[in-house]
Each structure stands twice: as structure tokens, then as C-alpha cells.
Structure 1
């Protein structure tokens, strides 16, 4: 991942500029056309003072100026027309560039490896897609055009002014050079402030995402003020960085404005002396003053272009950080023939970076078409095993075999097409119940949908909704209860008709009646599917064909419920302390004794 401090002090690595040019390159023809129009408009603007000087000279000589006046008026109109066309081309191209940037980021962000997502703030990643991409579009289009046009326009104006009066240009240059030095000294600080501001905006988005994503917990904990303070600090950092940048930009504007005024006064004073001495004519002095007056246009264009470029480079650094994150390769694979495979773990080990080893040589097999339960204390590595099966992470050692085939040698899409995963927190997507239900099986027909709704006891819920299955369930499915979300997640998994079904605490939010129904559903599904589940409720565990006890990343024991009650002390302890419910004591007390 890129070093977040690589832009501090106003220095950007060359790859940031190359990346910026990469987005502009497909539109190079249009951008060159827009630049040509801008330069043509600048040429017309540069000829206007010369035409004015000729008109004044002819008026002094009593000659006709009709042709020159018409030409001057035509030049002004044509210059405005060229500017309008250039603006349209530039704005259209800038929107196309930002579309390209965002499309690339969208594909990359969605395909990020889970390890990268776990290390990042989602809101900060989103800000790179929204705010940073906008800065890139202007840097690659109008910023670059202004930089080139401003430079050439300024050089051409200075050359013409030198031809008109080298002495007046010397006075002007002396004042402008002082201003230029001040601007060059300040610009690195502007760039650094822009970078800090972009990072602070990302932190602000992350703070609000944290608070709004767990708003019920925030309110129930009485933590509103703490979260407000946290987000407020990020907002203040963004404000401070922006204000610093504004101060420097104001300084630059004041210095350049003061330089222009000072040079204007100096030219009038010296020009008056030169006219009195008849070294130059009044017409030449007026033409020179017009060039000096219009000198602000290329200078402002240069400053705007430089500012846009530096902002774009700062944003490009942040976008590059995303582009350098590891992603899962996109592979087009045809859905495999449906089968009911076994799931075997052979000496599987894994650790999360600095957290040490979570799994240490785990070996067991979930037979095809049966129910295997994973039990163990928190932190034993149960959910981590599911993450390895889904290939969210890769084992550091060992193999996972799906139907006898090592999943590490298969495309991720092919592996995941055979598996359905019901997560512990049962996440829902903003949208309708239908969209969530068919998310993993978008081609499911109405008969299959009705069947799975009835099997998971959701048919009554759907019939009572205002728009039926097309009712919006709100952000993260908050219009549903925890139990309803749990059953919907199971229904979504069943609709996919997977070969392997992974269930992580799938009965955690269900009442006893709904749990009993869900156990019946799972028992039925297990006849046509391999089920591997994590459970803390005894009824769910005892219905399993095989139970694997995990402890500290190791398989401690395996067997049936009755076997483990007589052979494994940890399982006995789990039955008493975590799996046991009041009703269960009546049925298991004699077995434990």
C-alpha cells in the first residue's frame, strides 16, 4: 500500500503524475483540440491591444478606422465563441474522465480482498471514489489546459511587451519577479494543506460511518456526545487544513494583485516620461497598458492550473493507494454441476498478521450430506474456518478439500458457487425483501421463492407487508426484527440450492418456536446438502451427525453429542455454561453425570 505521507511537503512521486496522465490519455485528441481552441482564443486576445494601438494611431493621423474597428469587434466575438466551445469540450471530457476513474475504483473496491477491507475504513475508501475523483478530473483537463495556455500566453505577452517598450517591460518584470518568488515559496505549503484536507475529509467520513452504522448502540450507550466529539475533531482538522490553504491562496492573490497594481502605476509613471520625451507614442503606451492589464489572465490561469494539478496529484496519491491494494482476480467461470461434496480440513493453520496463530493444524472432515457442528469457546477459530472455506483468507499451511479437490487450486468464483454462507450478524442490503432474498440466486422463479418463504416461516410476514415481497426493508434491513433478518438470511442461502451450507449462529436471534422450525428446515436441507454449522444452542448441536470441539485453534475432540459428554471435559463444560438452557437440563443432566 502507498505511503500516506508521500505527498507531505508538496512532493509527489512521479507515478502519481503518470497515473494522472493515464486517465487523460484516452481523451488526448479532444484535450488537444480544446487546448488549440484555448490557444487560438489567447492569440485573438493578444492581437486586440495591437489593433487598438493601430486604431489610435490612425485616429491621430485622421485616417479611417472602420476596417480595424470591425476586425477588433470580430476578434472579440470569435474569441468568446472559441472560449465557449473549449469550455464545453473540457467540461464534457472532465466528466468522462471522472466516470473512468470512478468505474475503475468501483471495480477495484468491490473486488478488494477481505484482508484489505478489514484494514481500512470503508468511509475513507468511499471518499476516494467521490471527493478525490472529482479533483482528478479537473487536474487532468482544465487544470492542464490552463497551465499550458497560461504559460504560452504569458510568454507571448511578455515578448510583445518587449517589442513595444523594453524599458517599460523592465519595470514591470522587476515587480512581477518579486511576486513570483513569493508565490513559489508559498505553493509547497498550499499543496501540503490540500493533502491534509483530503485526509481529514476521509477521517470525517469514517467517523460518521462508524456512528451511523451503529446508531442504536450509540444511543443506547448514551454515547452521542462522544461520537459527536470524535466526528467534530475530524471536521475541525478538515476546517483547519482548508483554512490554511485559503490563507496561502489569499496571500498569493494579494501578492499578485499588489504586483499588478504596482507595475501598473510604475508603467503609467515611466510611460508618461517616455511619452513626454517622445521615446514612445501615446498609442504604444496605451497598448502596453492593455497588455499589462490583461496580464492577469494568463497569471491567474497559471495559478489555477497549478492549484488544480497539485490537488489532483494529492487525490491521485490516495487513489493509487486503492489501486495498489490486493484484489481478487475476476474470472468468468460457468456454474459447476450441482453436487453434494464433503468438506475436509487437512492440517490447516492460519493467523491474522500480528495477532499470532488462530488455527494450528486443524484436521477433520464434514461428510457429504450430513450436519457437522463446530463448538468451542470464543476465539477458538470457528468463524475463521468459514472465512477460509469461502477463501476470504488463505491458509498459511495445510489444505481444504471440497469434494476431494483442493480449493486453493480452483477459482474463487467456482468455489463460492457451490457454497452458501449465513453470517452471524446476518447483513442485509438496502432495498426490497425480494432483492435481498434473491441476491445469491437472481434467476430464481416465483415457485422457488414461495417454497423457501414457507419453509423458513416468512410467508406470513411477506403477506402482511404493504407491498408484499417488494416492500423496502430499509438500510441494513432495519425494518425487520433480528429474528426475521436471521430467517431471511437462511432463506436467501437455501434459495441458492448450495452443495455446502455454512451457518454461523443461525439460531442466535430466534425464539424457541422459530428455532425448532429452523432445525427442521436444516435437517431437511441436510439430506440434499452438506451442512457445517457453528452453534451455541444445545438443541441445534445435538441434531448434528458429528460435532467437532475446537479449542485454541486445535481440534480437541470429535464425535456425537453422547460420545463427547462422556469423553471430553471441555464439551461437558460448554454444555453446562454455554449450550445449556433451562429446558435442556431436564434432558441432559443424566448424560453429564
Structure 2
């Protein structure tokens, strides 16, 4: 009977739009520099630690750079028959200090990496619950989860160490080349020719690594989305005997991720292999040319040995530089995906509508001390009004509301009835500001809901969805979800009102019993009663009930109907109903059809003058759920 927004779990509004392709699936690979800028933005808060880690690593590398010269001095001393104890002590000190400084630098970089990842995760987890409802409905949750987990983990493994490798590798490579030039300019020219070739390899290959890595992470996101889809509807999958079909889909996603990962690994292997081959060729060329120069007497054996030691030190540095650049590309790809998630539109914390001039119809807006969410909210029932509201879920689709206008006075119960697709549930979505109307206004106590801060607006409203949501955790956690300061006495009272006190007494740990994933350990009726109790515990000024008793047996439905009727004496109750017993007890009834309010009145009045309502009533309103 209800009209629902376009979601996977509630899609019974005839005009609900189909889901769009998730943003993570249609994103094109980003250019190199935007990705590096995004990565730099993530690393910037930790620049102090990063610089300290890089400096320690660089100092350790510089001490390592001095070791070949110290070794040359040892050889020269031994060759000349002079004591070499001091040179040996110096060489040993350089080796030990260099290793300690390099290890300390690595530790500092790892600490900064953990801080970068923690900050990125905190920023994402702060934004994701605040995403606008339309954004959530058009984005795969599994892909968002992958960005918080997989992409941030990738960032942790690559970014700080890669930045250090790129900086340290560059500086040490330059310093090593200078030292080699001081030893022999001819051998240096041979070395530089090879190093230039390695640089060309880096320039050509690293963009491919970045793109391949981005494809890999997007594939992982797709696999996470598929797994979330299957596990989120596991009972339905099992009942339909569709395990094999869903498994095949997950396997296809895993295979796609494997192929994308293999492509990324292939480009990394190309980069590493070419670098290794070129450096081996460099060693052979230096050995050949150097041997000839030793034979000709141009240089001594100790000079050739020192030069080869520098070459041996240069090889891993060049490899480190190549790997660092490649890892930066991987980190940049992860940073771009994190930046995309952070760019998703979130709800505004404050009012988004500019103040209107006096006389715009808001004269009855409550004073700040009576605003929604204040400590007085449970004492003043709220009034609701729709003024020429026009709404469409997405451009190009038929409107769900066509200039809807009605008024719900403060207090009492108002029922909304009508066939499927009439726009009933959308009324609740607009009151809660899950969506914004395309035209017209939704008023709470005479003030446009867009002028209320969201937190204060929603604190005044209790909302029970048609498909009630129960979160993993304890029963107490679910009941106090929107009322963390509720006392045990208040909880016990709403348990009695929702007819949950008997069930709670049977639970092994009472209110501290785990309810399972999405309340899987509770029956449908129990989940519905938990949702009602949760809404009542907030003591709302406006209670929205979307077929809130549809899954209850006759006895519990009758008892809760009495509770709702009693609640309507202290607050405003707006209910989407399909049972005639609920509708007939309402103070007023709105009949909706095709996005319009076609009639309003009491049960007796509508039976006498509205044919659609009479037809709905004659079938107990059940056929039009």
C-alpha cells in the first residue's frame, strides 16, 4: 500500500525510479597529477612525522654512502702497510649507525602511515552516515565499505614509505653519482647512460601501474558490493534456491578482480625487471671499462673497488626510486577513490533555505525554546502542512507528488490511505527531509522544514518504517538508538506499551541479548514492535507510522492500536494504514491517488462520498498494500 523511495529493500511505489549505476563503477581512471595532489592532501597533516622519518632514513643512507670511501681507506692502508684499526672502527661505526638510523626512520614512517589511515577512515566514517538518502540509494554500499577498508589499507602500505623512497632514492642517487664522479669521470659517464635509460623506463611504465591499480581497487569494490547484496538478502537467496547463481556472480567479480590485479602486477614486474636488467648491464659495462682502465694505469684497483661498491649501492637506490614512484602511483589511485567518497553529497547540518520576509506564512513558527528537539518537545504536539508540494525522485521520471496540499492539526491521529504508488510513504520522506520537494513547502508548526536544523527537526519526530530496521547489537542498543539518556523505568514503560515485556523476560540476557544481523534472531512482528518502542521512547512531538502493525497478529495489533490511540492524545500521529480497524479509529483520513489528495474526512464521511475509499474499505484495504 505504501509509496517508497527507490531502494533495494523497499520498492513498492509504482513510480519509484530504477537504481543508477554506482559512482565507483563509472569513474574513469584519473590523470597522474590529480591523483598525486589527492595523495599529498592526505599526507599533509602528517608532514612533520613524514619529514622526520625521511630525514632519519636519509641520514642513515648518507652514512651508508660514506662506507665505500671508508672501505677504500682500509684497503689503501693495508696496501701501504699502515695500521688500519681506526679505519675499521670508522667503517664499523658507519655500518651500525646507518642501520639504526634507517630502522628508526622506517618506524617513524610506519607510525605516520597509521595516523594517515586513521584520519582517512575517521573522515570517511564521519561523512558516510551523513550522506543524503538519494546518494546512498544510487551508490553500492559494498563499494563504499571497500573504500574505507581496502583503499585505506592500500594507502597505509604504500604512501609514506613510497614518499620516503622517492625522496631518499632521488637524493641518495644524486649524492652517489657525485661521489662516483669524484672517483672516475669515465666510469660515471657509463653509469649515467644506464641510469638515464632506467629513468625513461620509469616515465613510460608508472602511469600504467597507477591505472591498473585503480582498476583493481574498483574491481574489489564491485566484489564487496556483490557480497553485501547476497548476505543482505541471504534468506531470500536460500528460499529461491539461488545460491549457485549468486556464487557464480561473486566468482565472476573475483575473477575480474584477479585479472585487474594481474595487469597491475604485470606492469610492476615490467618496471622491476627492466630496472634490474639495465643495472646488471651497467655493472658489466663498468666492470669491463674499469678493468681496462686499471690495466692501463689510469686508475688504481682500490678506486675500481670503491666505484663498484658505489654502483652496488646505487643499484638498490635506483630500484628503490623506481619502486617508490610506482608505489606513489598505487597510493595516488587509492587517494583518488577516497577523495571521490569524500565528495559525495552530505546533508546540511543547518538550515538551507534563506530567511523569508515577514508575512510568508511562517508567523506561527515556534520560539526557539519550543523548537523541535528541545527538552519541551514531548509536551507540544506538532502540526504538519503540505502546500502545493510537487516532487519527482529523478529528472525524467513521472512525479510522485502533484501539487499535494493538506493540513494535519496538532494532536490526534490522521490516516493516509490509497492504492500502491499514490505517494503515501513519500509524504513521510519529505517530512523527515530525506528528500527535498521540487516545488511547494512542507511545514512543521507553520515553518518550512528546510529552515529547521536537521538534528532538531528529526529529534521531534518518531518514525517507524514499513520494513522496520533492527541493527546488529543488543536489544537495549536498538531501543535507545535515538534516546541514549533513557532511564530503565522509561525503557520498561515502552516495553509494556509495545507488548515486548513478555518477550524480553524470555530472553537469556534480557535487554542485553544480541539480536543478530539486522535483527535476524527476532520475528518480523518482534522487529516491528522494537521499532515502535524505539520511536515511543523518544517521546516525539510527531509520530510517523508506515504500516507499523502489518506483521502483527490480531491480539498484538489490537493492543498496539490502543497504545497508538492513547499516544495520539499527547502527540500528533500520522499513519499510513492498510487495515480498516486502524483507519476507522483515526480522527481524520486522507485519500491519495496518483500523487494527489483526492479526498479527506472521517470514515463515515468518506464512505458516503468517495468511491475509491469505499472500494478500499470494502476489501479491508488489504489488497492495496
User: Post-superposition shift, 1:146?
Assistant: 1.1
Structure 1 distance, partners of 2:224, 2:404, is 40
User: Post-superposition shift, 1:138?
Assistant: 4.7
User: 347-356 vs 211-220, which deviates more?
Assistant: 347-356
Asked if 1:548 corresponds to 2:584, the answer is: no
Summarize the alignment of residues 248-263 of structure 1 with structure 2, pairs less than 5 Å apart: 248-263=267-282
Q: Give 3-state SS (helix, strand or coil) of 1:41's partner.
A: helix
Structure 2 distance, partners of 1:256, 1:431, is 53
Equivalent of 1:126 in 136, 145, 151: 145
Structure 2 distance, partners of 1:329, 1:518, is 36
1:344 is matched with 385
User: Post-superposition shift, 1:21?
Assistant: 2.4
User: Post-superposition shift, 1:283?
Assistant: 0.4
Cα pair 2:117 2:152 within 8 Å, conserved: yes
1:451 is matched with 493
Structure 2 distance, partners of 1:419, 1:549, is 23
1:395 is matched with 437
User: Post-superposition shift, 1:105?
Assistant: 0.8
User: 227-236 vs 209-218, which deviates more?
Assistant: 227-236
Summarize the alignment of residues 57-206 of structure 1 with structure 2, pairs less than 5 Å apart: 57-206=76-225
Cα pair 1:6 1:12 within 8 Å, conserved: no
**Is there any run of 5+ residues in structure 1 with no aligned partner, and where?**
582-593
Return the TM-score normalized by structure 1: 0.94
Cα pair 1:150 1:298 within 8 Å, conserved: yes
Equivalent of 2:340 in 321, 326, 336: 321
1:12 is matched with 32
User: 299-308 vs 54-63, which deviates more?
Assistant: 299-308
Equivalent of 2:449 in 407, 417, 427: 407
Q: Given the superposition, is the C-alpha separation of residues 577 and 169 from structure 1 closer, same or farther in structure 2, using an over 3 Å criterion?
A: farther
Summarize the alignment of residues 368-387 of structure 1 with structure 2, pairs less than 5 Å apart: 368-387=410-429
Aligned-CA RMSD value: 1.9
User: Post-superposition shift, 1:580?
Assistant: 5.1
Structure 1 distance, partners of 2:622, 2:512, is 39
Equivalent of 1:503 in 528, 545, 570: 545
Cα pair 1:372 1:533 within 8 Å, conserved: yes
Structure 2 distance, partners of 1:270, 1:211, is 65
2:508 is matched with 466
Q: Given the superposition, is the C-alpha separation of residues 486 and 2 from structure 1 closer, same or farther in structure 2, using an over 3 Å criterion?
A: closer
Return the TM-score normalized by structure 2: 0.89
Kindly provide the CA deviation profile for residues 257-312 of structure 1, in whole angstroms up to 9, marking residues without a partner as x: 11222221222222211111111111011111111111122122212321221112
Structure 1 distance, partners of 2:547, 2:420, is 12
The number of residues matched between the two structures is 579
Structure 2 distance, partners of 1:580, 1:97, is 55
Kindly provide the CA deviation profile for residues 95-140 of structure 1, in whole angstroms up to 9, marking residues without a partner as x: 1111111111111111111121111111111111111122334554
Q: Given the superposition, is the C-alpha separation of residues 479 and 4 from structure 1 closer, same or farther in structure 2, using an over 3 Å criterion?
A: closer
Q: Give 3-state SS (helix, strand or coil) of 1:174's partner.
A: helix
Structure 2 distance, partners of 1:385, 1:139, is 48
Cα pair 2:419 2:592 within 8 Å, conserved: yes
Q: Given the superposition, is the C-alpha separation of residues 512 and 3 from structure 1 closer, same or farther in structure 2, using an over 3 Å criterion?
A: closer
User: Post-superposition shift, 1:324?
Assistant: 1.6
Structure 2 distance, partners of 1:377, 1:243, is 53
1:584 is matched with none
Summarize the alignment of residues 14-53 of structure 1 with structure 2, pairs less than 5 Å apart: 14=34, 16-53=35-72
2:298 is matched with 279
User: Post-superposition shift, 1:558?
Assistant: 0.9
Q: Give 3-state SS (helix, strand or coil) of 1:353's partner.
A: coil
Kindly provide the CA deviation profile for residues 324-349 of structure 1, in whole angstroms up to 9, marking residues without a partner as x: 22212335996252211211111111
Equivalent of 1:523 in 565, 576, 585: 565
Kindly provide the CA deviation profile for residues 399-429 of structure 1, in whole angstroms up to 9, marking residues without a partner as x: 1221222212111111111100001110011
Q: Give 3-state SS (helix, strand or coil) of 2:403's partner.
A: strand
Cα pair 1:195 1:311 within 8 Å, conserved: yes
Structure 2 distance, partners of 1:425, 1:303, is 54
**Is there any run of 5+ residues in structure 2 with no aligned partner, and where?**
1-21, 352-371
Q: Given the superposition, is the C-alpha separation of residues 75 and 578 from structure 1 closer, same or farther in structure 2, using an over 3 Å criterion?
A: farther
Asked if 1:215 corresponds to 2:234, the answer is: yes
Q: Given the superposition, is the C-alpha separation of residues 297 and 440 from structure 1 closer, same or farther in structure 2, using an over 3 Å criterion?
A: same
Structure 2 distance, partners of 1:280, 1:120, is 68
Which structure has more relative contact order (CA 8 Å, sep 6+)? It is 2
User: 473-482 vs 337-346, which deviates more?
Assistant: 337-346
Cα pair 1:547 1:561 within 8 Å, conserved: yes
1:574 is matched with 616
User: 65-74 vs 353-362, which deviates more?
Assistant: 353-362
User: Post-superposition shift, 1:229?
Assistant: 1.7
More helix by share: 1
Q: Give 3-state SS (helix, strand or coil) of 2:404's partner.
A: strand
Kindly provide the CA deviation profile for residues 169-213 of structure 1, in whole angstroms up to 9, marking residues without a partner as x: 233333343343334322222111101001001101000000000
User: Post-superposition shift, 1:529?
Assistant: 1.0
Equivalent of 1:335 in 371, 374, 391: 374
Cα pair 2:163 2:328 within 8 Å, conserved: yes
Structure 2 distance, partners of 1:83, 1:183, is 25
Structure 2 distance, partners of 1:334, 1:22, is 37
